[in-house]
Structure 1
Amino acid sequence: MEEFKNINITKHAIVRYFNRVRGVMVTDINYDGWKNTHQDDIEEVKRELQGLLLTAEYITTGTYGIHKKASYYIQKETMLTFVISENNLVTLYKVDYGLDLIGNKEMLEVLINNYKRLLEEEENLQKKNQKEKQSLEYQEKMLGFAIQEAEAEVQKLRAKKKEIESKRTTLRTSEQSIASKINTAREKIILSKKAL
């Protein structure tokens, strides 16, 4: 894993390694004074951590504390989880399921195998569904075109209906106009005295 050669190993990660792996009681608070007399140990731990990272297995990316994007790696031999964010080894912690060392290793192996199996299952499912998804997308697209054509046809039919309604209105108006003229002519005939 080429990307780990130039990784920045944070003070916090170094402290955690001394605490959790070597059993040396150093803290983030007293580290600065402590490092003056342990510089060789610190350099040795940095080399060990880089070596362990090279054999660590990527598990997932998520968040960790203030880090919005952190990658999680597991090193099975040492049973360590490494948290890396922006080329910084932020922290590390022991894999612990509340069992003894053998039980923890077996549990980790079962969980990783299950995780890998699920990833493989997901990949197979995606491959299997790919053709059907493409077919469904094509059908959806074709239905969209059919709907557009139908809507255009409906618009034409509505325009035709309006045209017919307009012609009917014109015919009614012309009939009403002639009827009005007939009524006027009729009234003139029967009301001859008043008509003059």
Structure 2
Amino acid sequence: MNIPNLLTLLRIGLIPVFVVLFYLPTKWAYLACALVFAIAALTDWLDGWLARKLKQTSALGAFLDPVADKLMVAAALVLLVQRDPAPWMAVPALVIIGREITISALREWMAELGERAQVAVSTIGKVKTAVQMVAILLLIYRDPVGVVPSYTVGYVLLYLATLLTLWSMLLYLRAAWPALMRNETQA
């Protein structure tokens, strides 16, 4: 067990805390929930950076890190849809969660083919993740920050994240397509 893996496990452990805070009937619940989500988002970046910097990459970390990310994002999106059950919230949430499932399955399949490198994390995927995290953070927090309408900015960023989600998914599928078709002709 190393520091990056401990940070990843912390992120997984924060999910029930996040959910409990989301449902607390207090004025400060959304602020606390947003802080927990921010900590989770920062540990997502930090664990990867530390793993590379300290040369502490591991098979466990390679497995747990994306799982932790997807669990936290899915939990946040489901809670946001529950709080605001409208199509304009549900559709982006479904697209984002659906893309995560699709790309996870694609990566697993490509690994079986020995072609995992074809669907490695791309720059557009990293940008998508950053925009998505900020969008979710602002949507959780809700309250204006000074004159900035957090919720409105969060919605705009959520739709930008949704577009980036679709774009990155298409890029991953396009990169994987030759390997998938090669396997199809051999079957």
**TM tier relative to shorter chain:** under 0.3
Larger radius of gyration: 1
Q: Which has the higher strand share?
A: 1
**TM-score (ref. length: structure 2):** 0.25
Structure of higher RCO (CA pairs closer than 8 Å, 6+ residues apart): 2
Q: TM-score, normalised by structure 1?
A: 0.24
Identify, as 1 or 2, the structure richer in helix.
2
